[in-house]
């Protein structure tokens, strides 16, 4: 198995993610022996910092470092806010803040209308 292991998590219930790790003693003859099962409930929250888990077993030491990272264009602690930067007259002229809020580009205003109003326009 390659470290680190990365996988996508579909969060139907973003308050609960259960991690279950089965530890086997690998035997080249093919008769692997189960050693332990480690289960833990994770509280998802996007952060750049890694969190650490250590198995309470006295038979072995299993340490897991994990973190949650939002996919591209998704923001917020639960990655449930979508913002895609735009710069055209159809979709608007804005970038996205680190929290996923629209921020009008220079020369454009009115974030409620996706920054489609030129800042020089008084009557638009």
- pLDDT tens-place string over residues 11-51: 665 667 788 888 888 888 878 888 888 888 887 776 667 88
- The domain containing residue 103 runs over which residues? 81-118
**Residue 7 forms part of a structural domain:** no
Rounded Cα distance between 75 and 35, Å, is: 39
- 114 within a domain of the structure (yes/no): yes
User: Does any domain span residue 60?
Assistant: yes
pLDDT confidence band for 1 (50 / 70 / 90): low
Query: Is there a domain that residue 74 lies in?
Result: no
Could you tell me the sign of the dihedral formed by the alpha carbons of 54, 55, 60, 65, in that order? negative
What global pTM score does this model have?
A: 0.62
User: Is residue 97 domain-resident?
Assistant: yes
Please say which residue of 42, 66, 90 terminates a domain.
Answer: 66
User: What number of other Cβ atoms are within 10 A of residue 29's Cβ?
Assistant: 5
What confidence score (pLDDT) does residue 124 get?
66
Task: Give the model's confidence band at 69: pLDDT under 50 very low, under 70 low, under 90 confident, else very high.
Answer: confident
Rounded Cα distance, 122 and 38, in Å? 63
What's CA 110's distance to the chain center, in Å?
Answer: 29
Residue 5, in any domain of the structure = no
């Amino acid at each position: 198995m390659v470290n680190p292991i990365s996988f996508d998590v579909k969060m139907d219930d973003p308050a609960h993610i259960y991690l279950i790790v089965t530890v086997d003693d690998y035997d080249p003859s093919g008769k692997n022996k189960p050693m332990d099962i480690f289960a833990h409930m994770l509280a998802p929250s996007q952060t750049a910092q890694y969190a650490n888990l250590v198995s309470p077993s006295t038979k072995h030491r299993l340490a897991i470092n994990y973190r949650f990272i939002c996919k591209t264009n998704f923001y917020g602690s639960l990655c449930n806010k979508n913002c895609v930067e735009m710069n055209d007259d159809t979709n608007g002229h804005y970038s996205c803040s680190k929290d996923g809020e629209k921020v009008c580009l220079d020369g454009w205003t009115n974030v409620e209308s996706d920054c489609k109003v030129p800042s020089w326009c008084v009557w638009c």
